[in-house]
Structure 1
Amino acid sequence: MTTTYEDILNLFRENDVQIKQLLRAQQETERRFQDTEREQKETARQLKELGKQIGRLGEKFGSFTEGLALPSMARILRQQFQMEIISPSVRASKAGQHLEIDVLAYANGEVNTAYIVEVKSHLREEAITQLKNILDRFRAFFPEHRDKRLFGILAAVDLLPTLRERILNEGLYVARIHDGIFELDTPADFQPKAW
């Protein structure tokens, strides 16, 4: 069989059709890839925004819990520990370092003591480390209180009994909510640790 000019033209036409089909398929693949890339960017943007919203919600819930705890804790700090000054939401910065305290209470004179209260809605293990870290760093940020005895209180809405025992063993006071009011939850023989 001999190949004619017409056979060669037909072969080129078929090749041309196949090349055009491949180009269309490649363009469709590129379009789908771009659509997928746009969708991924949009999903990432939405996840970032959702993260921000969750963070703001967590801050609001934390502020709500702190606000709920403040009247009860102020009463405890005044009546049981004779604190004169009670300051909620104390923020300090020094040499590029920051310290945030939910409640700072202190008394001068004969009492000469300070208390740091950390308030949590759902207390977890890391809250113990967090409060101890604040207690350890406190005098660097507040040298005017360096001669005071310093104690820590973890106040929580929700707290596992095993975690309560761990907090007490660390020498920290525990306060829990009962009938909408925070109360100290420490045994009579509890010996707090002074920092």
Structure 2
Amino acid sequence: MLDCNDVVTATPTVPMTAATELSWDDLKAMIAALAEQGRQTALRLQETDHLIRELREEGRETDRQLRELKRQIGGLGDKFGYFAEGMALPTMERLLRRRFHMEIVNPRSRIRKDGREREYDVLAWANGKVNTVVVVEVKSRVKREAIGRLIERLETLFDCLPELKGKARVGILAGIDWDAGVEEEAQAAGLYTARIRDDMFELTTPKGFRPRRW
């Protein structure tokens, strides 16, 4: 029988936690699961890297295809320009002979000299009193850069054909369609302008136009 003065000492109870409940087998299983998750993550990263490389390769192939398509479209534009030029050639030649008094009219003139090649849509010239060369540039659609291109051809003509030196040089820029304002800019630069309509080659420069002579 306990006396009221007796002291009773209780043994402390240690609370159970998740850590104390884990066995060694449980810990090994957790480590194995983490390792498997790491392997799965590494595998997904490898797959992602492979996918990125494939996308980059597909992007390069797409760029190549776009460049090829652009080249083909440009080629079609050139062929259409050649076709238009060929259809209008009879009236073009007639105008060059009657209006500009040309003696020789050469469509598609290809000149090779000193390892360089230059092609002119139409090259015409006359000797004697006329003593002039006319360079005709034909485009299916005339853009602003065509003006500089034709002027460059006029300026360098004698490099390819030194036998024509001493003749005045005149340029005609012709096309089926024109970008806005380009026709007026070409005329302001001293170039004749012409349009091809219904197989007809017609000058569009206004009356009183004074061409530049190079």
Q: Into which bin does the TM-score normalised by the smaller protein fall? A: 0.7 to 0.9
How far residue 86 of structure 1 moved from its aligned partner, in angstroms, is 0.9
Between the aligned partners of 2:53 and 2:212, the Cα distance in structure 1 is 61
Cα separation, partners in 2 of 1:179 and 1:9, compared to 1, 3 Å? closer
Q: Which has the higher helix share?
A: 1
Which structure's CA Rg is the greater one? 2
Match of 2:133 in 1: 114
TM-score normalised over the length of structure 1? 0.86
For residue 194 of structure 1, give the secondary structure of its aligned residue in structure 2.
Answer: coil
For residue 110 of structure 1, give the secondary structure of its aligned residue in structure 2.
Answer: coil
How far residue 59 of structure 1 moved from its aligned partner, in angstroms, is 2.2
Question: Could you tell me the percent identity over the aligned residues?
Answer: 44
How far residue 135 of structure 1 moved from its aligned partner, in angstroms, is 0.8
| Residue 27 of structure 1 pairs with residue 42 of structure 2 | no
How far residue 171 of structure 1 moved from its aligned partner, in angstroms, is 2.1
Match of 1:175 in 2: 194
Between the aligned partners of 1:57 and 1:78, the Cα distance in structure 2 is 30
For residue 190 of structure 1, give the secondary structure of its aligned residue in structure 2.
Answer: coil
Between the aligned partners of 2:34 and 2:25, the Cα distance in structure 1 is 14
Q: Residue by residue, what CA displacement relative to the aligned partner does 1:143-179 show, whole Å, maximum 9, x if unpaired?
A: 1111212211111212367433332232221212244
Aligned length: 195
For residue 15 of structure 1, give the secondary structure of its aligned residue in structure 2.
Answer: helix
| Residue 80 of structure 1 pairs with residue 99 of structure 2 | yes
Cα separation, partners in 2 of 1:17 and 1:160, compared to 1, 3 Å? closer
Alignment of 1:51-70 (within 5 A): 51-70=70-89
Between the aligned partners of 1:131 and 1:34, the Cα distance in structure 2 is 46
RMSD: 2.3
Between the aligned partners of 1:51 and 1:67, the Cα distance in structure 2 is 24
Contact 2:84 2:199 in 1 (8 A): no
How far residue 17 of structure 1 moved from its aligned partner, in angstroms, is 2.2
Match of 1:49 in 2: 68
Alignment of 1:150-165 (within 5 A): 150-159=169-178, 162-165=181-184
Contact 1:155 1:176 in 2 (8 A): yes
Unmatched segments (≥5 aa) in structure 1:
none
Unmatched segments (≥5 aa) in structure 2:
1-19
TM-score normalised over the length of structure 2? 0.79
